[in-house]
Amino acid sequence: MKKRWILGTRGSKLALRQTEIVIGRLHALYPDHQFVAEIIKTTGDTIWDKPLHLIGGKGLFVKEIEEALLAGRIDMAVHSVKDMPVELPEALVLGAVLERENPRDAFISVTHGRFADVGPGGRIGTGSLRRKAQILNLNKELEVVPIRGNVDTRLRKLREQGLDAIVLACAGVKRMGFAEHIKEVLSFEMMVPPSGQGAIGIETRDETQLLDLLRPLNDEQTMFEVSVERRLQALIGGGCSVPLGINASLFDGRLTIHSAFGTEEGELLVKQRLDGRPDEADALIAASLKPIQEAQEKLGPG
């Protein structure tokens, strides 16, 4: 009888697609094992009438799945790393991350070819405080309209609500097969994504058998990048509740950290880029943190 492993996942179309990708990789590595998905409804999947930052932030999409892991009902969990809190429960670890899809945000529009084409009064849809702050930083004459839902739902709302554009994660749009809708991939200079965007993470219990099983799936560069991002995010605090963008990227032997920090009102207080060697990651994290902490102190409590 084949050894059976259960992978916990949310029931959204994107979560199921990402779980299919992971199961496909595992089947290829271990054809004598059986891998099955189990859908677990999370808090974030039950509340659709409020923005994420008003109902709890990042943990919304993982808490119930982590409880199933800890209870032994599932063996591993497939997440978008951007949805994972930086502090995992004791006995759980990020066992592997797949090679990263494009972490940038995508500009999608029926009527405009690029972000700069949207004129004063233009309406851009997003459910993210981070995107709102950076959109208004680029053009204060735009209106940001709150929208949530799956990729196909947001594409439908783009048309039904007569929006000029929507901004979504490139990775999700591509994984769902809608890449042809992307009009412009927004540079890090325009829009800093959240930590972990574009990366599929596999969370599991801190057990040798499970970690050995996942080790061949892990992409070392992606793991390094998201580890840098999550370390900086942990030092800053927040999550979905503050407009915070962090991206670390390794290219040609150099580490670049982009970060952006703003307010709920859509004001961008910090936007920066720092470059160095990968072995200077600690120093780059500290240097990125300082101006954000200074901005936090000026804002005061809350």
Mind telling me the catalytic residues? 83
Tally Cβ neighbours within 10 Å of residue 36.
Answer: 12
Spacing of C-alpha 175 from chain mean position: 14
Amino acid at position 263, single letter: T
Please list the alpha-helical segments (H only) found in 8-84: 13-29, 63-71
CA angle 237, 243, 248 (to 5 degrees): 70
Q: How deeply is 71 buried, as exposed, middle or buried, from its count of CB atoms within 10 A (0-12, 13-18, 19+)?
A: exposed
Total residue count of the chain as it appears in this document: 302
Residue pair 256/128 in contact (Cβ under 8 Å)? The answer is: no
Alpha-carbon distance 70 to 92, whole Å?
A: 8
Residue pair 243/268 in contact (Cβ under 8 Å)? The answer is: yes
- Write out the DSSP string of 136-158: HHH-TTSEEE---S-HHHHHHHH
Amino acid at position 156, single letter: R
Spacing of C-alpha 105 from chain mean position: 10
| Strand duo 3-9 + 123-125: pairing | unpaired
Spacing of C-alpha 44 from chain mean position: 14
